[in-house]
Amino acid sequence: MDTYASVFSAIVDLLVLIVGVVLFFCYERRIKTHELATNYRDEMLPWYSQAVERMILMMHLIKSNNFNEREMTEHLAELSALVETGRFFFPNVNWNYREL
């Protein structure tokens, strides 16, 4: 009778251990996913702010006709660099799985 109780106890202990490990990894994975999303957003927001600021500045300069060609070229170069940086945040991805 003692052997059945000890075997049953060992099985219950093993099941509790397995459930605990699975729950820990699920929780840890959820935390890591949240951290990745937060890091992505924190890196993207400054780029977004700079790009929008540059576009609005150029729009106002063009409307006011109060700019010289050198100034506009500098702003265009900065905007072009921001667009290229944005390609890292939003790459062109082919989502058509039928062709893969």
pLDDT band at residue 99 under the 50/70/90 scheme: low
pLDDT, one tens digit per residue, over 52-95 is: 999 998 888 888 887 788 888 898 999 999 999 988 888 877 76
Give the chain's mean pLDDT: 85
Q: What is the pLDDT, as a whole number, of residue 52?
A: 93
Residue 34 has pLDDT above 70, yes or no: yes
3-state secondary structure of 66: coil
- 44: closest CA among 93, 94, 91, 90? 90
Q: What is the pLDDT, as a whole number, of residue 49?
A: 93
- 48: closest CA among 23, 80, 82? 82
pLDDT, one tens digit per residue, over 15-28 is: 888 888 888 888 88
Q: What share of the chain is helix, strand, coil (3-state, %, to 5)?
A: 85, 0, 15
